[in-house]
Amino acid sequence: MLGMNGKIARINLTDETIKIEDIEEEIIRKYLGGLGIAMRILYDEVPPEVEPLSPENKLIFMIGPLTSLIGSTTRYVVVAKSPLSGILGESYSGGFWAYELRKAGLDGVIVEGKAAKPVYIWIDDGKIEIKDATNIWKLDAIEAQAKIQEELGDKKIRVACIGLAGVNLVKYACIMNERDAAGRCGLGAVMGSKNLKAIAVRGNKDIKELIENVEEYKQLAQKAMKKISGNLFATTALTPGGTNGNFELLNVTGDVPHGYWKVGSWKGDKNFKVRKWKKLIAEHESCYLCPVNCKKVCELKDEEGNVLYHGPGPEYETVSGFGTLLLNDDFPSILEANELCNRYGLDTISCSETVGFAMECWEHGIIKESDTEGLILEWGNKDAILKLIEKIALRQGIGDILAEGVAQAAKKFGKNAEEFAVTVKGVEMPHHDPRAFFSMGLTYATGTHGANHCEGLALTLSTLPRPDLGINSPIPKDSNDPELNAKGVKAIQDVVAAKNSLIICVLVEDAIPHKLLLKIIKAIMGLDLTWDEFLTIGERIFNLKRVFDTRCGISKKDDVLPKRITKEPLPDGGAAGKLPDVENMLPAYYKLRGWSAEGIPTDETLRRLDLNVD
14-32, pLDDT tens digit by residue? 999 999 999 999 999 999 9
pLDDT at 536: 98
Question: pLDDT confidence of 450, banded at 50, 70, 90?
Answer: very high
Q: Predicted confidence band at 302 (pLDDT cuts at 50, 70, 90)?
A: confident
Report DSSP letters for 356-410, one per residue.
Answer: HHHHHHHHTTSS-TTTTTT----TT-HHHHHHHHHHHHHT-TTHHHHTT-HHHHH
Three-state DSSP at 528 gives coil
Cα-Cα-Cα-Cα dihedral sign, residues 465, 466, 471, 476: negative
Contact 423, 260 (CB under 8 A): no
pLDDT on residue 447: 98
DSSP assignment of 466-526 equals: BGGGTB-SPPPTT---HHHHHHHHHHHHHHHHHHHHHT--GGGTTSS-HHHHHHHHHHHH-
User: Please, are residues 198 and 160 in contact by the beta-carbon 8 Å criterion?
Assistant: yes
pLDDT at 464 over 90: no
Average of pLDDT values for 102-125? 98
For the segment 1-19, the average pLDDT, to the nearest whole number, is 97
State the average pLDDT for the chain: 97
Q: Distance (Å, rounded) from C-alpha 23 to C-alpha 8?
A: 7
Is the pLDDT assigned to residue 463 strictly greater than 90?
A: no
- The DSSP result for 93-160, as a single string, is E-SSHHHHHHHTT-SEEEEES--SS-EEEEEETTEEEEEE-TTTTTS-HHHHHHHHHHHHT-TT-EEE
Task: Give the pLDDT confidence score for residue 457 in this predicted structure.
Answer: 84
- pLDDT at residue 35 is higher than 90: yes
CA atoms within 13 A on the CB side of 247: 27
At 324-369, the pLDDT tens digits run: 999 999 999 999 999 999 999 999 999 999 999 999 999 999 999 9
Domains of the chain, start order: 7-210 (3.60.9.10), 239-421 (1.10.569.10), 438-608 (1.10.599.10)
Nearest to 459 by CA among 428, 481, 492: 492
Distance CA 487, CA 475 (A): 10
Tell me the mean pLDDT in the region 80-96. 98
Q: Exposed, middle or buried: residue 54 (CB in 10 Å: 0-12, 13-18, 19+)?
A: middle
Condensed to tens digits (0 to 9), the pLDDT of residues 38-75 reads 999 999 999 999 999 999 999 999 999 999 999 999 99
* pLDDT score recorded for residue 151: 98
Dump pLDDT digits (tens) for 517-556: 999 999 999 999 999 999 999 999 999 999 999 999 999 9
Order the strands of the 119-124 sheet from edge to edge: 127-132, 119-124, 196-202, 158-161, 175-177, 180-182
Amino acid identity for residue 2 in this structure: L
User: Is 90 exceeded by the pLDDT of residue 149?
Assistant: yes
% of residues, the chain, pLDDT over 70: 100
Q: Is the pLDDT of residue 126 over 90?
A: no
Question: Per-residue pLDDT for 404 more than 90?
Answer: yes
CA atoms within 13 A on the CB side of 261: 29
- pLDDT tens-digit profile of 247-274? 999 999 999 999 999 999 999 999 999 9
Q: Tell me, what's the pLDDT at 303? A: 87
